[in-house]
Amino acid sequence: MKMEIELKKEVREGLVEGLKEFFWKERDEEITNLGAVLILDYILNNIGPHIYNKAIEDSYAYMYERIEDLRGLEKRSR
């Protein structure tokens, strides 16, 4: 199953501009909109799912710890 990360148009446009700025500042290279879009798509499709899964894993660990904290507050019957 391929995961597709969808971004709002404004966010996507901002990221494309950010990539173009990054290439200019860091590499002294000018890339086109198409080049930036292709890089963004690559990142979203190939790297994004790993970042997403790590965020889910971290969220699960955090919630598990909170649930254990709550369980520690349970009152025991005599």
* Structure token digits, residue 60: 């699960």
Q: List the alpha helices (DSSP H) in 1-78.
A: 9-27, 33-42, 48-71
Q: What is the pLDDT of residue 71?
A: 85
Q: What is the pTM of this model?
A: 0.75
| pLDDT at residue number 2 | 62
More confident residue, 33 or 72: 33
What would the pLDDT profile of 10-68 be if each residue is shown by its tens digit?
999 999 999 999 999 999 999 999 999 999 999 999 999 999 999 999 999 999 999 98
**What are the boundaries of each domain within the chain?**
9-71
The answer to whether the beta carbons of residues 20 and 31 sit under 8 Å apart is yes
Burial call 58-73: b when 16+ CB within 10 Å, e when fewer: eeeeeeeeeeeeeeee
Decide which of 75 and 26 is more confident.
26
CA 21 to chain centroid: 20
